[in-house]
Chains A and B, each alone.
Chain A
Amino acid sequence: MATQAVNSELFFSTARQLRTLFDSRETSSVEVTRMILDRIEVLEPQLNSFITVTPEHAVKQAEIADQRLRGTGQEPTPLTGVPVMVKDNFSTKGIETTAASRILKGYIPPYDGTVVHLLREAGAVILGKGNLDEFAMGSSSETSAYGPVHNPWDIERVPGGSSGGAAAAVAAGECFIAFGSDTGGSIRQPASLCGVVGMKPTYGLVSRYGLLAFGSSLDQIGPLTRSVPDCADALNIISSHDPHDSTSVRAPFGDFGEGLNAGISGMKIGVPREYLVEGIEPGVRSAFEQSLKTLEDLGANITETSLPLTDHALAVYYIIAPSEASANLSRYDGVKYGLGATDASTSAEATEAVRGRGFGEEVKRRILLGTYALSAGYYDAYYKKAQQVRTLIRREFTDAFLQFDVLVTPTSPSVAFKIGDKTDDPFQMYMNDVCTIPVNIAGLPSISVPGGMSEGLPVGLQFIGSQFGDATVIQAAAAYERSTSWHQRHPTI
């Protein structure tokens, strides 16, 4: 493991490949963890993908993992000994959790969220907490109070968001798997812009307990990985019914990787034309058309279709998500944790001051938008109307899945854009999620895989499945990945 070339190959290997190195005793979790911590130290000044790195915790977990891998502890899992990152909106006991907000600076959670707990049980090595848009509100990871994340393919560009730190870290070899949250595209869009795999499972498949809530009817945790098989392995570990989250389902949790090698011959794939939106970049469009040819060559039946309500999804989302956010974020009042205002003369003044100082601009904008949509006189016209259109959008998807096994679309209409390019026009920023948002509205599973390059930057391909069709989405993505090499390209950072 001495030479630089071997190291960079190691850092860009998949979790499954790493596991074979563990099993053949070519390296150990402690050795890899130490090397990756060194790499993080070197790369962080350029990338800023972590808010907190926890080297001591990580090495301690790696030591325990090595015992498991050598057969002296609990039975190992596919994630045992694998260095991972969790987004900084996951509660981690004893480790600062900020959601990239000033208002939570210094907050040390007294408990682990369910996914963090499951990762620890599985023996994953948690390296630290990933940078994000403040409270996961954004599509560029620029609204973080701890500075923007830079895209490893071009550090003058954004990594996407809100799980930008997670996507950048997986792309740059700062971790093998990262865990993010996706409310309107926050896993898939950055995965697309950084050239990695990112999956939002069916709503309810993964417990949200301990995830700092943004839009509770839309939020879902999922993995970002360097391969589809790694994604299936990770989803197998984090999906569970959890009594702490009443929205987590009691579905029979099979093996999400059961179709990894099944191929897609005869699979019916729909291409909804509304996703090839006006303003889609030509390079993204041509990469997408190339991908359709690949899928056809693999034996899939590709048919164009139409989901006309797609055009209304953005409006529905930007009413529902901010409304839910305005309620969820009311807990940040400066009393029990985070920023305080001991100089205020009344409780109400203290709350206003803390929230005025502690929240960044985008978070304020969304809270105000949601408060407006829920306020007396506007509730029916905005919130209720949006929820009704949500029903129509769900029906449209349900009908489509009578005809198709999966739908395929571009993940994002553009490749990574320059830092600062879209910060002055919020609606322009919201348009980045136009292809990912409908999926959250309907609670469906969806995965983005590397699907081409344009102007030297990664382009993502999105597969959407029916509710609880997570294994089918993974099956289609795996077949595509096996016949392309986009996922094997890495930035030269």
Chain B
Amino acid sequence: MDQLTPKDVDHIAQLAYIQLTEEESEKMRVQLSDILGHFQSLASLNTDGVEPTGHTTDSNTIMRKDEPEPPLDQEDVLRNAPDRDGEFVRVRPVLE
């Protein structure tokens, strides 16, 4: 396993929308490289033709009737918003 580069870490952090300080970024680079190194043992196992397991209950798509239920109380929901304008949640501009 090759070590992750600082560029790799920047790329992942960008995909995950997490701002890292330079110090954090370097620490993550070293630690993630170490952890990924421990994963290499899996490559030694033959998994040709083995179905992947996503979950263990063997249930497939669960259907239910689309019946409306009483909604959550609007004020209970909105009071949690960090930036609110009346009945609206305010967000920063999406387009620059």
Contacts and interface: CB of A to CB of B under 8 A. Distances in A.
Given A348-B17, A349-B92, A426-B31, A247 B57 contact: yes
B53 A368 contact: no
B20 to A, nearest CB: 7
B13 A392 contact: no
Contact of B31 (A346, A365, A386): A365
A352 B62 CA distance: 35
Interface of B: 8-9, 12-13, 15-20, 24, 28, 31-32, 34-36, 38-39, 41-43, 45, 47, 50-57, 59, 62, 64, 72-73, 76-77, 79-83, 89, 91-94, 96
A356 B38 CA distance: 27
Nearest to B72: A110
Nearest to A217: B55
A335 B12 contact: no
A221 B91 CA distance: 34
Nearest to B61: A246
Given A247-B57, A345-B92, A467-B56, A110 B19 contact: no
Nearest to A385: B42
A contact patch SS:
helix
A368 B47 contact: no
16 contacts: A93-B76, A204-B59, A247-B57, A337-B80, A338-B80, A340-B83, A348-B17, A361-B24, A365-B31, A369-B32, A372-B8, A372-B36, A382-B39, A389-B45, A426-B34, A443-B55
Interface string A196-212: 00000001100000000
Contacts of B38: 314-315, 318, 427
A111 B72 CA distance: 7
Contacts of A336: 77, 80-81, 89
A246 B54 CA distance: 14
Contacts of A203: 55-57
A350 interface: yes
A347 interface: yes
Contacts of B9: 368
A318 B39 contact: yes
Given A336-B81, A346-B92, A347-B92, A391 B50 contact: yes
Interface in A190-248: 203-204, 216-217, 243, 246-247
Contacts of A132: none
A337 B80 CA distance: 5
Contact of B80 (A107, A316, A326, A384): A107
B12 to A, nearest CB: 5
A443 B54 CA distance: 11
A319 interface: yes
Interface in A318-352: 318-319, 326, 330, 333-342, 344-352
Contact of A355 (B19, B51, B80, B91): B19
A353 B19 contact: yes
Given A334-B82, A390-B53, A352 B32 contact: no
Contacts of B32: 365, 368-369, 372
B57 A367 contact: no
A318 B38 CA distance: 10
Contacts of A348: 17, 94
Interface in A90-112: 93, 106-108, 110-111
Given A340-B82, A368-B13, A427-B38, A392 B91 contact: no
